[in-house]
Structure 1
Amino acid sequence: MTQQYPQPPAQGQPMQPMQPMLPPKKKHTAPKVIGIIALLGLIGLVSCVAMLGKAANDVGKSIEQDQQKNAPRAVVVGKAFTIGKHETLAGWKVTKDAQASGARAGADPGAELHPGRYVRQVRQGHC
């Protein structure tokens, strides 16, 4: 094999100075890749925190609604009221009940073991 050397310029052409060979530029891909991965991780972390915050807020609202649903309510004897799906019509009253008060079977209905226990009595034809 013969080695090829640069040929001198032909007669009549000016000689151009040789440009120095510069080393190729480094592409610095590693810092770019690490930066992109860090950015994606940060976006993922922020979205997870947002979803957890939304879920916690929804649970808090649900608990509050449940507490409001089970809160005691003022009821006037004889007036109609509705609690959830339970509807009580007007005309109801509170009476003493021998079974609810703990009276024994066959005992005098007026004798009560636990006075003060009351149950509501529903008008006939209404449940």
Structure 2
Amino acid sequence: MSDQNPPPPSGPYPPQGQGSFPPQGGQPYGYGQPMPPQKKSHLARNIIIGVVLALILMCGGCFAIVGVGANEVAKEVDKSIKEEQKNDTPTEVKEGQAFKHDGYAIAAGWKVGEEEYGGTTITNMRVTVEEADPDVEGGRSAWLTFRFYKGADVLLEVNCTSNEMQVGETSKMDCSSLETEPIKGWDTIKVADAF
């Protein structure tokens, strides 16, 4: 005798062609409600973004500080250049009168005279250091050039130097020119730094 109906197979699914599966999109056979998708944690990503933003802000702050510092340095350099240009630009002085130039005070009583071997010089000139030079270590020596003009023509230059002095000290100045003949007819004297 043959059995026309074989025993039902064991397992969660019915054999092929027998029974039916649940409809597509429905709940699977023998399971509960579908689980909602699990949320992904973004903690590592947020930490990396925070670190990158902090680095960008720190770099920006550093650039700002460097920029402000560079601007201050540029202002000081411009100020120094303008002061040096002022010292190098000849300023009119009157024979025998006291004047100040580049942190030096020249006393009244100096005179234009003839050198021993010809030419023109300045005599009886005394200088006092009133200001220290921050770029020079130790004392300062005055190096001044006096130009004698007739109108716009430069007739003669007389270079004068002093001993090295500290602030408040005074020294006589030695003056000489390269001319061998005394000059006459000048109408203006101007002084500037020798270099």
Q: 1-side partners of 2:112 and 2:38: how far apart?
A: 103
1:72-110 C-alpha deviation (Å, 9 max, x unpaired): 1211123222333242313x32111133x4xxxxxxxxx
The alignment's TM-score, normalised by the length of structure 2, stands at 0.39
Partner of residue 10, structure 1: none
Match of 1:68 among 86, 90, 106: 86
Whether 2:104 is the aligned partner of 1:88: answer no
- Aligned residue for 1:26? 42
Residues 21-64 of structure 1 show CA distances to partners (whole Å, capped at 9, x for unaligned) of 73353222222211111111111112111111111111111121
Identity percentage of aligned residues: 20
Whether the 8 Å CA contact 2:98–2:107 is kept in 1: the answer is yes
SS in 2 for 1:74: strand
CA drift of 1:67 comes to 2.2
SS where residue 94 of structure 2 aligns?
Answer: coil
The equivalent position to 1:41 in structure 2, one of 59, 83, 100, is: 59
Q: Mark the runs of 5 or more structure 1 residues left unpaired by the alignment.
A: 1-16, 102-116
Structure-2 residue corresponding to 1:8 = none
Structure-1 separation of matches of 2:64 and 2:91: 43
- The structure where helix makes up a greater share of residues is 1
Computed over aligned residues only, the root mean square deviation of the Cα atoms, in angstroms, reads: 2.8
Could you say what secondary structure the match of 2:68 adopts?
helix
Which residues of structure 2 form unaligned runs of 5+?
Answer: 1-32, 126-170, 173-195
Q: Distance in 2 between matches of 1:20 and 1:79?
A: 101
Q: The residue matched to 1:38 in structure 2 has which SS?
A: helix
CA distance in 2, matches of 1:82, 1:26: 74
Q: Is the 8 A contact 2:98 2:105 kept in 1?
A: no
Which portions of structure 1, spanning 4 or more consecutive aligned residues, are displaced by more than 4 angstroms?
Answer: none
Aligned pairs, number = 92
